[in-house]
A and B are shown apart, each in its own frame.
Chain A
């Protein structure tokens, strides 16, 4: 068969059910094979390759499968770069297949030729150029193996047109043998013993859960471990759905716009158990003053993360779920009621100073917080909330409830505006059984709004919420707080979004009055297909609490 046919059969053999892509010259043989072979794989035609890669990311994170996208050479491939970087830093398994000019043209500045391998090396877990059809089965097997094992990440295959057209014998994907790749270290008994000793002796333990808990399928293990130790459980932005928000031991998100108590008391804990997280600077504030009184136990699958930012007293190198399951029998049953009470005291202060005004303002313009709170109430914390990047993202992280696995999808590490809408398409197509709500700001929504066309064509049941404050809100907030209110290039006009949606045959409604909010949310959730809810919110609202950049997390501010 041809290389192109082998690619399609290889994708089928790898269990791919859906992929996202955009055709073009150098990938046409693969698209032709897709047409001719009519495989069980559904191809979703996006409107821009950036939409394809973010949709694949959303699909991967909603389904715990590998996201797949297909694009042509040159601009097709370069348009994937943002998504690759996003998937790399947020550990999302992706396989991106891009066409390349024929091998005899490589290096000649041929039409739509780009040096994609060098361009994407820093933003992929692995990439590989294939110039011969006979190398394709191994390349595809490798790509899926590397993308999905260990710490997941994006893999790019750059396949020349002659490799797609050449002949290859294909009888299934070969077994992958990579002697230099050891994806899953097994946590040593000694490290688990040392971790247990610290936890059993702790007076003020704190657990911080990251996405590693979710990726390892370790939610139940975390809950068991938390209940055994009696420790309060906080989470990172990517760990929002690692632990039920309503659990009595849950103390909220850490970091720049995290919960007041979770931040302040990180600096008061004596043992910090960090599971599957990487001490991002948005989490730690000034790392020199971070959890300075604590012995830190850092559980991670990636050896490069342990001790990278914060020195660990005990490094547990392994899969989060496996490590937690093996740690559990080593732990004594403890309660830390007095310690947990301190979190409740901080919560009470935060509620008075911030939360009450955010989620239940009696008067004034609608606020982002109350919209998110209503959305999460209306869906009982079980919808998949896909947020974009900015103020609304922090508000969603603060006031959304995430009661079950895979309920939060957001661009954390890279902070990619424009991620949310296409990611929600991927999530909605991958999980038709779940309500998928795409929460956007007016800025990020307009970065990839061309994907409304993809929603129209696929019928993906995305509930699009745009929280419109007529500003690039987070930047404006920084300008207000740190640049003496010089609002440079942050005021933004938007079109009539309901009419825009209507042009794509997506029903929608605009809300500006508090009295109309509940009805509009009800109508949106009752609509079987996609829907756009455009909400005009307070123009110059700020997200608090806030840890100023470079400050210690215990210097978190509740107001300006």
Chain B
């Protein structure tokens, strides 16, 4: 990746491929914690490469430090590659789930907010409504601001998932892309 011209602290995404084995998560997070670098979000999921999981790690640091960290992460035996991306080099999304009181939905202003942020109703009950919104990190942040007048009963966001914009080639889909919660177990490696 082309390094940026300045070396200021900025939001960066580290995209890392590693073997899907117990213990690797700790080895990855240790590399951050020993530098007292807080992980803003971390998601782990299957990837297009069979057996290799994609770690998407959002951090705020300088490009130089992130690159150095990526090289040290690649030193791990079971890490394949680690790439650092600036925000404009990726397509990235957060998913927010939140609950509000059903009365909020009667409010016109709340209805406008739902339309503006493309908020969907996931589940409704007499005493609580669960809503969902997907967007960039900034869009989810804006939603949080907009929700202030009403408050929420519960709130969670997934953290960043991201794909980079570099050229790539199609590969076959495979069973491991399915969730281990539903897919039959992959053969032991």
Residue B23 contacts which of A125, A127, A180, A302 (CB distance < 8 angstroms)?
A127
Question: Do A180 and B75 touch (CB < 8 A)?
Answer: no
Pick from A122, A125, A180, A308 the residue with the most CB of B within 10 Å.
A180
| A183 nearest CB neighbor, chain B only | B77
Question: Do A304 and B74 touch (CB < 8 A)?
Answer: yes
B24-38 vs A, Cβ < 8 Å mask (1 yes, 0 no): 001100100010000
A547 within 8 A of B: no
| B21 nearest CB neighbor, chain A only | A128
Question: How distant is A551 from chain B, measured CB to nearest CB, in Å?
Answer: 24
Residue B19 contacts which of A121, A122, A180 (CB distance < 8 angstroms)?
A180
The distance in angstroms between the C-alpha atoms of A384 and B21, with both chains bound, is 42
**Chain A residues positioned under 8 Å from B77 (CB to CB):** 125-126, 146, 178, 180-181
Residue A304 contacts which of B22, B52, B68 (CB distance < 8 angstroms)?
B68
The distance in angstroms between the C-alpha atoms of A147 and B34, with both chains bound, is 23
Which B21-60 residues have a C-beta within 8 angstroms of A?
A: 22-23, 26-27, 30, 34, 52
Interface residues of B, dominant DSSP: mixed
Question: Do A117 and B75 touch (CB < 8 A)?
Answer: no
Question: Do B71 and A304 touch (CB < 8 A)?
Answer: yes
Pick from B72, B75, B80 the residue with the most CB of A within 10 Å.
B75
Question: Do A179 and B75 touch (CB < 8 A)?
Answer: no
B78 within 8 A of A: yes
Known pairs A125-B77, A178-B77, A180-B77; A117 contacts B68 (CB<8 A): no
Residue B27 contacts which of A121, A129, A303 (CB distance < 8 angstroms)?
A121
Residue B74 contacts which of A117, A126, A303, A308 (CB distance < 8 angstroms)?
A303
A112-145 vs B, Cβ < 8 Å mask (1 yes, 0 no): 0000011001100111110000000000000000
Known pairs A125-B77, A180-B80, A181-B77; A118 contacts B26 (CB<8 A): yes
**Chain A residues positioned under 8 Å from B30 (CB to CB):** 121-122
Question: How distant is B81 from chain A, measured CB to nearest CB, in Å?
Answer: 8
Residue B18 contacts which of A125, A180, A307, A308 (CB distance < 8 angstroms)?
A180
Question: Do A117 and B34 touch (CB < 8 A)?
Answer: no
| B33 nearest CB neighbor, chain A only | A122
Question: Do A303 and B71 touch (CB < 8 A)?
Answer: yes
**Chain A residues positioned under 8 Å from B26 (CB to CB):** 118, 121
Question: Do B78 and A180 touch (CB < 8 A)?
Answer: yes
Question: How distant is A172 from chain B, measured CB to nearest CB, in Å?
Answer: 20
| A181 nearest CB neighbor, chain B only | B77
**Chain B residues positioned under 8 Å from A302 (CB to CB):** 75
B66 within 8 A of A: no
Which A261-311 residues have a C-beta within 8 angstroms of B?
A: 302-304, 307-308
| A308 nearest CB neighbor, chain B only | B68
**Chain A residues positioned under 8 Å from B72 (CB to CB):** 304
**Chain B residues positioned under 8 Å from A117 (CB to CB):** 23
**Chain B residues positioned under 8 Å from A307 (CB to CB):** 68
B137-159 vs A, Cβ < 8 Å mask (1 yes, 0 no): 00000000000000000000000
Question: How distant is B46 from chain A, measured CB to nearest CB, in Å?
Answer: 16
The distance in angstroms between the C-alpha atoms of A357 and B74, with both chains bound, is 49
**Chain A residues positioned under 8 Å from B27 (CB to CB):** 121
Question: How distant is B75 from chain A, measured CB to nearest CB, in Å?
Answer: 5
B141-180 vs A, Cβ < 8 Å mask (1 yes, 0 no): 0000000000000000000000000000000000000000
B12 within 8 A of A: no
B114 within 8 A of A: no
**Chain B residues positioned under 8 Å from A129 (CB to CB):** 22-23
| B27 nearest CB neighbor, chain A only | A121
Question: How distant is B121 from chain A, measured CB to nearest CB, in Å?
Answer: 41
Known pairs A122-B34, A179-B80; A304 contacts B23 (CB<8 A): no
The distance in angstroms between the C-alpha atoms of A304 and B72, with both chains bound, is 5
| A309 nearest CB neighbor, chain B only | B68
Pick from A118, A129, A304, A307 the residue with the most CB of B within 10 Å.
A304
| A124 nearest CB neighbor, chain B only | B27
Residue B79 contacts which of A121, A122, A180 (CB distance < 8 angstroms)?
A180
B66-97 vs A, Cβ < 8 Å mask (1 yes, 0 no): 00100110110111100000000000000000
**Chain A residues positioned under 8 Å from B80 (CB to CB):** 179-180
Which A156-207 residues have a C-beta within 8 angstroms of B?
A: 178-181
The distance in angstroms between the C-alpha atoms of A178 and B22, with both chains bound, is 16
| A180 nearest CB neighbor, chain B only | B80
The distance in angstroms between the C-alpha atoms of A45 and B108, with both chains bound, is 80
| B30 nearest CB neighbor, chain A only | A122
The distance in angstroms between the C-alpha atoms of A118 and B23, with both chains bound, is 8
Question: Do A303 and B68 touch (CB < 8 A)?
Answer: no
Question: How distant is B174 from chain A, measured CB to nearest CB, in Å?
Answer: 15
The distance in angstroms between the C-alpha atoms of A303 and B71, with both chains bound, is 6
Question: Do A121 and B71 touch (CB < 8 A)?
Answer: no
The distance in angstroms between the C-alpha atoms of A93 and B77, with both chains bound, is 15
Question: How distant is A166 from chain B, measured CB to nearest CB, in Å?
Answer: 16
Question: How distant is A25 from chain B, measured CB to nearest CB, in Å?
Answer: 24
| B23 nearest CB neighbor, chain A only | A117
**Chain A residues positioned under 8 Å from B22 (CB to CB):** 129
Which A83-134 residues have a C-beta within 8 angstroms of B?
A: 117-118, 121-122, 125-129
Which B109-139 residues have a C-beta within 8 angstroms of A?
A: none
The distance in angstroms between the C-alpha atoms of A308 and B71, with both chains bound, is 9
The distance in angstroms between the C-alpha atoms of A126 and B17, with both chains bound, is 17
| B29 nearest CB neighbor, chain A only | A121
Question: Do B74 and A121 touch (CB < 8 A)?
Answer: no
The distance in angstroms between the C-alpha atoms of A307 and B74, with both chains bound, is 15
Known pairs A122-B34, A180-B18, A308-B68; A303 contacts B75 (CB<8 A): yes
**Chain B residues positioned under 8 Å from A121 (CB to CB):** 23, 26-27, 30
The distance in angstroms between the C-alpha atoms of A129 and B72, with both chains bound, is 23
| A146 nearest CB neighbor, chain B only | B77
The distance in angstroms between the C-alpha atoms of A127 and B22, with both chains bound, is 11
The distance in angstroms between the C-alpha atoms of A329 and B72, with both chains bound, is 32
The distance in angstroms between the C-alpha atoms of A121 and B78, with both chains bound, is 13
| B70 nearest CB neighbor, chain A only | A304
Question: Do A304 and B19 touch (CB < 8 A)?
Answer: no
The distance in angstroms between the C-alpha atoms of A127 and B71, with both chains bound, is 20
16 A-B pairs in the complex with CB atoms less than 8 angstroms apart: A118-B26, A121-B26, A121-B27, A122-B34, A126-B77, A126-B78, A127-B23, A129-B22, A129-B23, A178-B77, A178-B78, A179-B80, A304-B72, A304-B74, A307-B68, A308-B68
Sample of 5 more A-B contacts, CB < 8 Å, known A121-B23, A303-B74, A304-B71:
A122-B30, A126-B78, A180-B78, A181-B78, A308-B68
Using CB atoms and an 8 Å cutoff, list the residues of chain B in contact with chain A.
17-19, 22-23, 26-27, 30, 34, 52, 68, 71-72, 74-75, 77-80
9 tightest Cβ-Cβ pairs between the two chains A and B: A304-B71, A180-B80, A304-B72, A126-B77, A304-B75, A181-B77, A122-B30, A121-B27, A303-B71
